[in-house]
Amino acid sequence: MQKKEYDCVGVDVSKGTLDVALYRGDVDWKGGHVKVFNNKTGYKELMRWLRSKGVKKRHLRICMEYTGLYAYDFRMWLESEGVVYYMVDPSRMHNFEPPLSIKGIRQTKTDKADAFRIAIFCALFHESMKPSHLPSPTFFKLKRLLAERLQYIKQSTMYKQQRRDVSQYDTVSARIRKEEELDSLRRHVRQTEADIRAIIESDAAIKRNYDLLTSITGIGLVVAVTTIVLTENFTAFTDPRKYASYISIAPFPHESGTSVKGATRVSRKGFKQAKADLSISILPVISLDAGIRAYWLRKKAEGKHTGVIMNAIKFKMVLRMFAVVKRGTPYVDTMKYKS
């Protein structure tokens, strides 16, 4: 059977624009790229441009990186048009190097070059990837509520710091205003969390995985919901190592030739807020979980750096989250049953 030929398109998504590159075996820097607005007018312009290049919708394959809400409208439009597209893990794209035979693409770092890089990736790997589909609106509601809650937490932290550091110079009325603002922010946090729980209760699939995740010692509302949102309820990520890489807790070697032999370390790229939330959640785990406690003490006795041990524990927590979801049963601390 003759192999199907597809026109592969890479899209570099930003808040206001889309950089689009068409790849057909070579990089056409002049005629193979277009920049359009990230709205319906821009999407229609994109389709007109693709038609002018002789691209048929049924032969079109589009790749882009996960960029959260920035890509939501574009994905919704692609699905309404029946266009096949793939969402790619940003860490996978970050580590992707186009073939050396493609001149100039490795040395160039622009939005246009990034779009071509994604298009080349699409051409090489689209047959091994599953087409993407938007999750239900529930995920985006949860994501916005998490962002709202985080904003209140940051504002609360600021007022607490002011109360602690400069309260001695405040007037009585200024201190009262700060306390009132703190009370208001705490109330907003509670209300936001109540909204999150109400949404979870309304979706059976999300509620099932939420209950499984929170059965793990140390995994509370924020970490559980963040993981569900980022993994699109464990459909966008099914491999815990890839997710660990996405939130920057998977270590990578730092080497170059024979002269640079750095220590293995985590990437500084990735979804840092998820990593920060997980960092906070593991502090009580070290005290409450016998297995984690034993691991902590053993590694400390071996002289391991605290940050390295903490990162390893975070990875263990990610493995546990993916395990309970895959198994479909709550977490069981087997250490409790050991004599």
Q: Of 57-71, 200-214, 285-299, which one has max mean pLDDT?
A: 200-214
**Same domain, yes or no, for 106 and 191?**
no
Output 16 or 254, whichever has higher pLDDT: 16
Instruction: Give per-residue pLDDT as tens, 119-153.
Output: 999 999 998 888 998 888 898 899 999 999 999 99
Structural domain tally of the chain?
3
Other CB atoms within 10 Å distance of the CB of residue 337: 7
- Rounded CA-CA distance 199/143 in Å is 11
- Residue 288: phi and psi, rounded to 5, are -90, -25
**Same domain, yes or no, for 158 and 252?**
no
**Same domain, yes or no, for 119 and 23?**
yes
Give exposure, 50-88, as e/b (b: 16+ Cβ within 10 Å). beeeebeeeebbbbbbbbeebbbebbebbeeeebbbbbb
The pLDDT value given to residue 262: 46
**Same domain, yes or no, for 17 and 111?**
yes
The pLDDT value given to residue 41: 97
Instruction: Give per-residue pLDDT as tens, 236-247.
Output: 788 899 889 888
Residue 204 has pLDDT above 80, yes or no: yes
pTM equals: 0.71
Domain assignment of residue 226, yes or no: no
Angle between helices 172-202 and 204-213 (to 10 degrees): 120
Residue 261 has pLDDT above 70, yes or no: no
Q: How many residues does the chain have?
A: 339
Instruction: Report CA dihedral (213, 216, 219, 220) to the nearest 10 degrees.
Output: 70
Instruction: Give per-residue pLDDT as tens, 151-201.
Output: 999 999 988 888 777 667 778 888 888 889 999 999 999 999 999 999 999
Please report which confidence band the pLDDT of residue 107 belongs to, taking 50, 70 and 90 as the band edges.
low
- Rounded CA-CA distance 93/247 in Å is 14
Output 183 or 272, whichever has higher pLDDT: 183
The pLDDT value given to residue 60: 95
Instruction: Report CA dihedral (131, 137, 141, 142) to the nearest 10 degrees.
Output: -50
Residue 268 has pLDDT above 70, yes or no: no
Find out whether 232 and 254 touch, Cβ atoms under 8 Å: no
**Same domain, yes or no, for 89 and 21?**
yes
Bridge partners of residue 12, in order along the sequence: 19
Residue 202 has pLDDT above 70, yes or no: yes
Residue 325 in tokens? 């979801």
Please report which confidence band the pLDDT of residue 271 belongs to, taking 50, 70 and 90 as the band edges.
low
Domain assignment of residue 222, yes or no: no
**Same domain, yes or no, for 197 and 246?**
no
Output 233 or 272, whichever has higher pLDDT: 233
Residue 82 has pLDDT above 50, yes or no: yes
- Rounded CA-CA distance 132/84 in Å is 8
- Residue 279: phi and psi, rounded to 5, are -60, -40
Domain assignment of residue 227, yes or no: no
Output 108 or 63, whichever has higher pLDDT: 63
* Positive or negative: CA dihedral 220, 221, 223, 225: positive
DSSP 71-137: GHHHHHHHHHHT-EEEEE-HHHHHT----TTSTTTTT--SHHHHHHHHHHHHHHHGGGSPPP----H
**Same domain, yes or no, for 70 and 167?**
no
Bridge partners of residue 254, in order along the sequence: 262
- Lowest-pLDDT range, 34-38, 134-138, 284-288, 327-331? 134-138
Residue 266 has pLDDT above 50, yes or no: no
**Same domain, yes or no, for 13 and 122?**
yes
Residue numbers of the domain that contains 268:
240-337
* Positive or negative: CA dihedral 175, 181, 183, 186: negative
* Positive or negative: CA dihedral 292, 91, 322, 136: positive
Domain assignment of residue 58, yes or no: yes
Please report which confidence band the pLDDT of residue 255 belongs to, taking 50, 70 and 90 as the band edges.
very low
Selection from 171, 121, 178, 122 nearest residue 155 by Cα: 178
**Same domain, yes or no, for 15 and 76?**
yes
The pLDDT value given to residue 253: 44
Of the residues 105, 128, 151, which one is the last residue of a structural domain?
A: 128
- Rounded CA-CA distance 30/311 in Å is 45
The pLDDT value given to residue 242: 83
Domain assignment of residue 212, yes or no: no
**Same domain, yes or no, for 118 and 11?**
yes
Residue 55 has pLDDT above 80, yes or no: yes
Please report which confidence band the pLDDT of residue 104 belongs to, taking 50, 70 and 90 as the band edges.
low
Domain assignment of residue 91, yes or no: yes
Please report which confidence band the pLDDT of residue 103 belongs to, taking 50, 70 and 90 as the band edges.
low
**Same domain, yes or no, for 122 and 151?**
no
- Residue 64: phi and psi, rounded to 5, are -155, 160
Find out whether 102 and 48 touch, Cβ atoms under 8 Å: no
- Rounded CA-CA distance 160/164 in Å is 6
Domain assignment of residue 271, yes or no: yes
Helical residues (DSSP H) of the chain, grouped into ranges: 40-52, 72-81, 90-94, 111-125, 137-166, 172-202, 204-213, 221-230, 240-246, 272-288, 290-301, 306-327
The pLDDT value given to residue 136: 83
